Amino acid sequence: MVSPEAAPRPALRALTAALRAVAAAALATAALCSTATGQAPAARPSEAAAADGFPPVTLPGTELRHLRSAETGRDYDIQVSLPDDYAAHPDARYPVLYVLDGQWDFKLMLSIQGGLLYDKFDPPIIIVGITYSGAHPDYNALRAMDLTPVAAPSLPGSGAAPRFLSFLRHQVIPFVEAAYRADPARRVLLGASFGGLFTLYAMFSDPALFAGYVAGSPAVSYGGRAAFAAESAYAALHRELPARLYVAVGDQEELAAPVQEFWGVLRGRRYAGLTLETRVIAGERHSGNKPEAFNRGLRFILAQ
């Protein structure tokens, strides 16, 4: 390499200019990245992408609809995924999977159902995710209201499950079955945690509303064991429970023991018409068991 001292004068000037340009670029980068007082923080990736004009990632074959609930007084996003062959078969009617906590589990169910369809375990279905409208909804607070059957002092507004179930029965289901070619005889309800608790509550409240129920890690201990109380009240009046029910729980979560106790109670009732399948998912906790729980649950419900 030729040293600056030995370099011809024009080359030296070019080298010096290049070094100054590199230094200026480094200073500019440092200034942009600075979070010192008076400096704007760096943009988040999504904001930077929007500023640069990059398109957002979208989910093909999906639609977003909106409903305001007369029962709860809240606004909801209704996320809809149609089967790939929907347009090609104008006379076909499809099972509908209603997914609670759509903000988290709608896209998960798209992936799971895609695999089940490819492997020929499930037929094509319509998937409907239910979540909350608005720019920044407080999902944890809102779901604690809608998905709990009894009130808890620590959760303001909790215990609204009867109103949310009425919203499903009188608004969401009629809307879906009017707007899309849905098969009313093959409705499925799916949820986890509080969503699983609500799934059980819906089954005991109106078993025939859905043909199948998938409850992942249902919060059966909530509200002084509200799920046990709902089952006991149902058993006092009925000997039949006409439904297909799948319940799963992770073996490393706190709900493992109470959920297994709950499905032991169900088996002991010997309800006529109840087809029950349960699973303890090895090596998983409360949230991580959902992919396997939902996969196997949907396969079980639709295998009829």
State whether 134 and 169 are in the same domain. Answer: yes
pLDDT at 53: 86
How many folded domains does the chain comprise? 2
2 lies in a domain?
no
State whether 127 and 19 are in the same domain. Answer: no
Residue pair 217/248 in contact by the 8 Å Cβ criterion? yes
State whether 41 and 71 are in the same domain. Answer: no
Could you say which residues of the chain have pLDDT below 50? 1-43
pLDDT at 1: 44
State whether 175 and 44 are in the same domain. Answer: no
57 lies in a domain?
no
Domain coverage including residue 17? 9-51
State whether 126 and 19 are in the same domain. Answer: no
Chain segment 228-238, per-residue pLDDT in tens: 999 999 999 99
Helix axes 222-235, 256-269, angle to 10 degrees: 10
pLDDT at 30: 39
Residue pair 191/203 in contact by the 8 Å Cβ criterion? no
State whether 210 and 247 are in the same domain. Answer: yes
CA–CA gap between residue 226 and residue 151 (Å, rounded): 10
Chain segment 100-140, per-residue pLDDT in tens: 999 999 999 999 999 999 999 999 999 999 999 999 999 99
State whether 167 and 84 are in the same domain. Answer: yes
